[in-house]
Structure 1
Amino acid sequence: MYFAALLARTQDGWEASDTELDDVETLSDLADLAREATNDETVVVFIEQEGAWFGLVRVDGEDDPRVYVSNAAAAARSSYGEILTKEVLGGEDDDPAGDLDALDLDGTEEGEPQPTNDNDDTEGAVPAGPVGDSRLLEDLGVPERELLALDTDALSEIAEALGAGEVLEAVR
């Protein structure tokens, strides 16, 4: 089960709203959803799956979204987590194999070592740990060290540090 919420910073402070992610298929969809919540202000999207992982997406106006995922391996096994990890780790759209000009005749990228066997499970492996921009909330009062140390009930702790604990709990 997922919990997803948007925290939008306004002139009057933080406003929270729970959100449905049913129509979200890409990070761009998620960023558009966040931008609809406010006018060129900071929006932080919280996504959590039953304490297994959490993800943060920060959208500042029209800037590119910044992403942090607490446990990439766990997140990659879920549909919404896969959207975030694909963005951070490079997904199909960023795959150099999609550019035929960059490939040698044997199908490998120029200068890329050729695999030694067909059963190489390490290629494409997702790390079991945090990935992304661990500094995305530093200017809002959540230093990198604190973010990396969070595990259970992380979203509540982050919201408290932002001064938005009560508004997040109201939508939870």
Structure 2
Amino acid sequence: MYFAALLARTEDGWEASDTELDSVETLSDIADLAREAAADDSETVIVFIEQEDAWFGVVRVDGEDDPRVFVSNAAAAARSSYGEILTSEILGDDPRDADTDVDALDLDGTEDGEPLVASAAEDGEDDGDAAVPAAPVGDRQILADLGLSERELLALDGDALSTIADVLGAGEVLEAVR
């Protein structure tokens, strides 16, 4: 079961609305949903996506800027349709072929020289798909300017979306749409 909500920052504070992701196929679709929720083209909109405490994703859309994405557990997210949209945006369709210098991003906390992505056979899986890190990926500073540091974001577990909303001052409005 998924939970998805939009938090739009307005002059009067945060406004929350739940959203259906049935027609979403790409990150651009998610960004379009976010922009539609904004009353003003320059507003910040945060999209929360969660799958039963297995993983959560945060997509931040600031006006017409490219969306910024954070996923709490790439491996768990990649096994779900909406999570796959987010992880493929960050890691590419096959993380082994990604143009991104993932070691420079330190997405999985490994030391220099350790492999970021293991083959499926090394993981003991025989599914033939590329393995993705069972770790946070994406923009760890996505909410830093709103009061949630990288360290706090990476330490979240349990009901992470409520914790994030509380830090943003939007806890009550998020709970109203849950």
Would you say same fold, with TM above 0.5?
yes
Task: Give the partner amino acid of 2:73.
Answer: N
Q: Which residue of 1 aligns with 2:73?
A: 71
Q: Which residue of 1 aligns with 2:161?
A: 155
Q: Which residue of 2 aligns with 1:137?
A: 143
Cα deviation, 1:64-111, whole Å, max 9, x if unaligned, reads 00000000000000000000000010127xx68xxxxxxxxxxxxxxx
**Gap change, CA 1:138 and 1:120, over 3 Å in 2:** closer
The alignment yields a C-alpha RMSD, in angstroms, of: 1.6
Q: Percent identity?
A: 78
> Which sections of structure 1, spanning at least 5 residues, go unmatched?
97-118
The one of 46, 50, 53 equivalent to 1:51 is 53
1:3-82 matches, within 5 Å, as 3-38=3-38, 39=40, 40-82=42-84
The one of 142, 161, 166 equivalent to 2:172 is 166
TM-score in terms of structure 2 length? 0.80
Give the greater-gyration-radius structure (CA).
1
Give distance in 2, aligned partners of 1:84 and 1:120.
20
Deviation above 3 Å: which 4+ runs of structure 1? Answer: 119-123
Give distance in 2, aligned partners of 1:131 and 1:64.
17
4-13 or 83-92, which moves further after superposition? 83-92
Give distance in 2, aligned partners of 1:120 and 1:13.
46
TM-score in terms of structure 1 length? 0.82
> Which sections of structure 2, spanning at least 5 residues, go unmatched?
99-118, 123-128
Give distance in 2, aligned partners of 1:12 and 1:167.
12
Cα deviation, 1:95-145, whole Å, max 9, x if unaligned, reads 68xxxxxxxxxxxxxxxxxxxxxx874683200010000110000000000
Give distance in 2, aligned partners of 1:21 and 1:157.
22
Deviation of the 1:165 alpha carbon: 0.2
